[in-house]
């Protein structure tokens, strides 16, 4: 007896962690709508962990930018042998047009008004727009429980992918102390950052100034980071992939903005807020964002 053919979904998404996390809302909506589908995700290496625990994942294809756009050719050679029921290209390339597909969604990139996760949902025809999610397994949750004790934990994300997005370390320290002696009394800090010497150097002053801080810099996979973030009472971070991961994990998340646009990239989650430096949108200096303004925004989440 012939077995029914499973639906196959192809999802081409970002090479950046933050953009990849933002796209998870529409992918989860597709997964819930087609619970038996086999899903292939194509993304950059840095974002691989965002999708590694996705239920129904059949294949995770990593592709990195090459000269003369050869990465698209290499990706096409891996995808063209298959017939796809649904192709979603969050990167807005022509790849979807070059594959055998029953339904195609080519989502336009570039700067547009409105929240990015809402833009993606509108392009897919999803109403209301689904919030981003994270996927973890019990092993990730167990690792998080071993690293973060019971009791209030304030997660801090003092790094970002470029210096213009980074709030001064002294401000993170002052904000944590104000919260840990106020609305989150006796809280411990957990410091999150990615791998590499640059991230370690950016996080080091915060770790050094907060005795008892839990150092999670560069030591976690993305699913483990999502599980750890889910145990925090509050996360405060610069506009970064970790900020988006925290919001998607359901943690109350405060995003700090200056040289990036909060109207497009504010954290999307059940409980989120932003503190924005005064000045032109996307061009304000992070140094001009005061601790008092960030504290007031944090209190709205508590």
Phi/psi class of residue 60: alpha, beta or left (left: φ > 0; alpha: ψ in -120 to 50)? Answer: beta
| pLDDT tens digits, 230-262 | 999 999 999 999 999 999 999 999 999 999 999
DSSP per-residue codes, 246-283: HHHTT--EEEEESSS-HHHHS--SSSEEEEE-SSSTTT
Mean pLDDT confidence for 120-135: 96
| pLDDT tens digits, 150-161 | 999 999 999 999
Of 36-50, 54-68, 100-114, 121-135, the poorest mean pLDDT is in 100-114
The full set of domains in the chain, from first to last, is: 8-124 (3.40.50.2000), 138-300 (3.40.50.2000)
The strands making up 253-257's β-sheet, listed across from edge to edge, are 214-217, 188-193, 153-157, 234-238, 253-257, 272-276
pLDDT band of residue 1 (cuts 50, 70, 90) is: very low
Mean pLDDT confidence for 42-49: 96
């Amino acid at each position: 007896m012939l077995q029914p053919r499973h639906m196959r979904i192809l999802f081409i998404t970002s090479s950046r962690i933050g953009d990849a996390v933002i796209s998870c809302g529409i992918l989860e909506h597709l997964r819930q709508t087609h619970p038996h589908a086999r899903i292939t995700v194509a993304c950059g290496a840095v974002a691989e962990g965002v999708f590694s625990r996705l239920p129904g994942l059949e294949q995770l294809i990593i592709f990195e930018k090459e000269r003369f756009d050869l990465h698209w050719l290499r990706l096409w050679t891996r995808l063209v042998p298959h017939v796809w029921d649904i192709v979603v290209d969050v990167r807005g390339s022509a790849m979807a047009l070059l594959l055998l597909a029953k339904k195609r969604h080519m989502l336009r990139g570039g700067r547009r008004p409105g929240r990015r996760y809402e833009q993606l949902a509108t392009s897919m025809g999803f109403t209301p727009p689904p919030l981003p999610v994270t996927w973890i397994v019990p092993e990730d949750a167990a690792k998080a429980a071993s690293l973060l004790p019971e009791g209030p934990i304030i997660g801090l994300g003092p790094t970002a992918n470029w210096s213009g997005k980074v709030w001064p370390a002294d401000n993170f320290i002052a904000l944590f102390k104000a919260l840990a002696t106020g609305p989150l009394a006796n809280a411990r800090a957990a410091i999150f950052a990615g791998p590499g010497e640059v991230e370690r150097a950016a996080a080091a002053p915060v770790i050094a100034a907060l005795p008892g801080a839990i150092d999670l810099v560069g030591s976690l996979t993305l699913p483990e980071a999502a599980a750890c973030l889910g145990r925090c009472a509050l996360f405060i971070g610069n506009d970064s992939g970790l900020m988006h991961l925290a919001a998607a994990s359901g943690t109350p998340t405060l995003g700090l903005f200056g040289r990036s646009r909060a109207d497009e990239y504010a954290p999307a989650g059940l409980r989120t807020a932003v503190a924005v430096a005064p000045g032109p949108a996307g061009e304000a200096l992070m140094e001009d964002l005061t601790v008092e303004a960030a504290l007031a925004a944090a209190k709205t989440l508590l």
